[in-house]
Structure 1
Amino acid sequence: MTSDAKDTRRKGTAGTHRRPTTYDVAKQAGVAQSTVSYVLNDVRTVTIPQETRDRVLEAARTLGYRPNAAAASLRMGRTNTIGLISDEIATTPFAGKIIKGAQDYAWEQGKILMIINTDGDADIAAAAITLLLERRVDGIIYAAMHHQEVLLPTTLRETPAILLDCFVADRSLPSVTPDESGGGYTATQTLSAHGHRRIGFINLQPDLPAAVGRLAGYHAALREAGIALDPALVRHGNSRADSGYALTRELMQLTAPPTAIFCGNDNIAMGAYDALRELGLAIPNDVAVIGFDNQEIIAAYLRPALTTLELPHYAMGQWAVRYLLDHTEHSADEAVPQVVLPCPLVMRDSL
């Protein structure tokens, strides 16, 4: 093939718009294609005069040359992509905050997210991990939408990975979860600081890690305040408004009913509001109420607006990406972090 034929092949047909290549930059700058590669990849082991470097860079700018990210990733062994696998995305109010936190931090660092929803299907989760490994992502975030222990495919250990809002039994994988105990403590301590001594607690299902942690925090705050624990003030619900309603009515039938109720989530608090209203009790004048989760579609629109604890989904998303970018490899001698992030108090009008 003649050189003219080669030129025609590279230029393409008249009127065809294509991305400029290093060949085009080399031709514009009047240098070898290898020189362009050295300059654009900032290779300093090869001596190239500054005037030549400037000419190559100017040619690249003039032509609008952009490097091939896929090819660069293959050379560097990194794809600048992080996989995020979740058991729920469309059906939970928390997924958006996790994704936004992860995406915001990833974007700041020049990375992108590849997101896969499994709908809680273990087979889909295993296939998703395999797919992400085949695409050579730089790491995987495995997220649950409520705090829980999980069983994971062993393939997840073939790449840097972190668990978000979940953990494995032997704690052999890094995780970031909410400080459930700290949140339970903050809720109860806030109520005691407002003068309440009879503090009811309508918790989640007792086997949930969140319920265990929040109950521990409740107990700790009562001890610190010198308030004797009364088991009659503690109830376990089903996380829904109907249990909040029914269990609030039970609590208010006690001989010495609570003057404040700590609800294990905002759904339970919504049911508590309905029960107290039916009983002719005003919030917060007769009974104070505090929730957990800060589901804004509930907490901000109840009347009075609900004081609650914020689950740190946005912060967990950010922390997970930061960890993966800082730990592309894990040393056998390095401790496996089990990070808990605080659940901030969101003060509104129900205390």
Structure 2
Amino acid sequence: MAEKRVTLADVAARAGLSVSAASLVLNDRPGIRISPAARERVREAARELGYRPNLAARTLLTSRSATIGLISDSVTTRPWASALILGALREAHSRDHILHIAETGTDIATAAEALDSFLDRSVDGIIFAASRARELELPDRSIPVPFVMLNATSAAGDASVLPDEFEAGRAIAGVLAAAGIKERIVVLGRDIGAPPDWVDTLTVRRRTAGIAQTVKEHDMHLAAQLPLSAWEPEPGYEAIADLVDSGETFDAIIAMNDRLAFGAYQAMLERGLRVGQDVSVVSFDDDEFAHFVRPGLTTAALPYETMGRLAAELILTGATQPQQHLIPMPIMYRGSVR
């Protein structure tokens, strides 16, 4: 037989107070005229009895459910983006809230169903998240609770939390300039002078603009720009292998992400070029393997956990006015720059 659930009446009886008084204490109602000793009796009784509040009843009473809904395209299935959820989870937990997660892919109808489901459960706010920063299409309906775009923007310019990719682009190119490397630089993944095309995300455009500004400011000279449609190790490997095999010499590579940099590492290793000595390499994202390649990869880290924390904080503090919150991308200095 299942154990009987401990009720508020049980707690009140143990503490020697009325049910209404016990409720006021456990719900932290301000301005109540109950002595500190009586309040402590209520809390002690709740601990001893293992009392858990009835959330459904509390929601009816307060119109707050102590939950946040997170609707994502593919954040939970992308290892590099899961820290977005970790940050939001930790912030929600620190404020006694729970995070409910729905993954919808890019289907707007599925996202609308997830939104309706969360609203039916009286969530206190909604986070719309993307694994790769871009403008998300929101369901065509009013959203009666606070909401924030995480690693994303909306057409209406709603509150959003994004990595500061422009400053990261400036800083990562500046690492080379500070090391005295201003000649024979290869940009791997994009042509920083080309107009944005349909595959460019918001972050890519800002990242390349930041690189371009530092290149101009420091009069840096590019040996080659190698646009690639896929930023994965194999295309990075093939592009740098072809460049070396063609007889082109270069002193540094700015890779548009760590996966491209990893492919470049392998191509140079096979051809006798030493990373960090013959060729310096800088990159973006701080993927897990950036710590373990040798030499370690100098890269601008995506601050996903910090971003997730801030998104939840904005929801729970009501600070969801239309504004882009740009989070700095710290440079992780390792051995890939001479």
Indicate the TM-score class for this superposition, using the shorter chain for normalisation.
Answer: 0.7 to 0.9
CA contact (8 A) 2:127 2:149 kept: yes
1:259 counterpart residue number: 251
In structure 2, what residue type is equivalent to 1:227? M
2:193 counterpart residue number: none
Post-superposition Cα deviations, 1:163-195, rounded to whole Å, max 9, x if no partner, equal 111112342x11111111111111110011111
CA contact (8 A) 1:269 1:289 kept: yes
Inter-CA distance 273–75: structure 2 relative to 1 (3 Å threshold): same
CA contact (8 A) 2:73 2:131 kept: yes
Query: Are 1:157 and 2:143 an aligned pair?
Result: yes
Distance 2:250 2:307 in 1: 34
Distance 2:167 2:173 in 1: 10
In structure 1, what residue type is equivalent to 2:133? H
In structure 1, what residue type is equivalent to 2:70? L
Q: What SS does the corresponding residue of 2:151 show, helix, strand or coil?
A: strand
Query: Are 1:74 and 2:60 an aligned pair?
Result: yes
1:118 counterpart residue number: 104
CA contact (8 A) 2:75 2:130 kept: no
> Which residues in structure 2 correspond to 1:240-279 (within 5 Å)?
240-252=232-244, 257-279=249-271
1:108 counterpart residue number: 94
Return the match for 2:178 from 187, 193, 199.
Answer: 193
Inter-CA distance 73–269: structure 2 relative to 1 (3 Å threshold): same
CA RMSD after TM alignment: 2.9
Cα shift at 1:138:
0.6
CA contact (8 A) 1:130 1:155 kept: no
In structure 1, what residue type is equivalent to 2:173? T
In structure 1, what residue type is equivalent to 2:181? H
In structure 2, what residue type is equivalent to 1:315? T
CA contact (8 A) 1:87 1:118 kept: yes
Cα shift at 1:60:
5.1
CA contact (8 A) 2:75 2:129 kept: no
Pick which of 112-121 and 312-321 moved more: 112-121
Cα shift at 1:213:
1.3
Distance 1:145 1:51 in 2: 50
CA contact (8 A) 2:59 2:122 kept: no
In structure 2, what residue type is equivalent to 1:322? E
CA contact (8 A) 2:109 2:139 kept: no
Inter-CA distance 17–246: structure 2 relative to 1 (3 Å threshold): closer
2:224 counterpart residue number: 233
Cα shift at 1:306:
1.4
Return the match for 2:299 from 293, 305, 308.
Answer: 308
Inter-CA distance 277–69: structure 2 relative to 1 (3 Å threshold): same
Distance 1:141 1:94 in 2: 18
1:208 counterpart residue number: 201
Cα shift at 1:292:
1.1
Cα shift at 1:129:
0.7
In structure 2, what residue type is equivalent to 1:194? A
Distance 1:130 1:243 in 2: 41
| Count of residues in Structure 1 that have an aligned counterpart in Structure 2 | 328
In structure 2, what residue type is equivalent to 1:158? P
Cα shift at 1:95:
3.1
Cα shift at 1:152:
1.3
Cα shift at 1:307:
1.4
Distance 2:92 2:257 in 1: 30
Query: Are 1:295 and 2:295 an aligned pair?
Result: no
For structure 1, the residue ranges without an aligned partner over 5 or more in a row are 1-14
Q: What SS does the corresponding residue of 2:231 show, helix, strand or coil?
A: coil
Distance 1:131 1:25 in 2: 33
1:18 counterpart residue number: 4
Return the match for 1:283 from 275, 278, 281.
Answer: 275
Pick which of 254-263 and 59-68 moved more: 59-68
Query: Are 1:130 and 2:123 an aligned pair?
Result: no
Distance 2:21 2:232 in 1: 66
Inter-CA distance 287–75: structure 2 relative to 1 (3 Å threshold): same
Cα shift at 1:86:
1.3
2:336 counterpart residue number: 350
Cα shift at 1:305:
1.9
Inter-CA distance 244–74: structure 2 relative to 1 (3 Å threshold): same
Aligned-residue sequence identity (percent) comes to 38
1:169 counterpart residue number: 155
CA contact (8 A) 1:129 1:156 kept: no
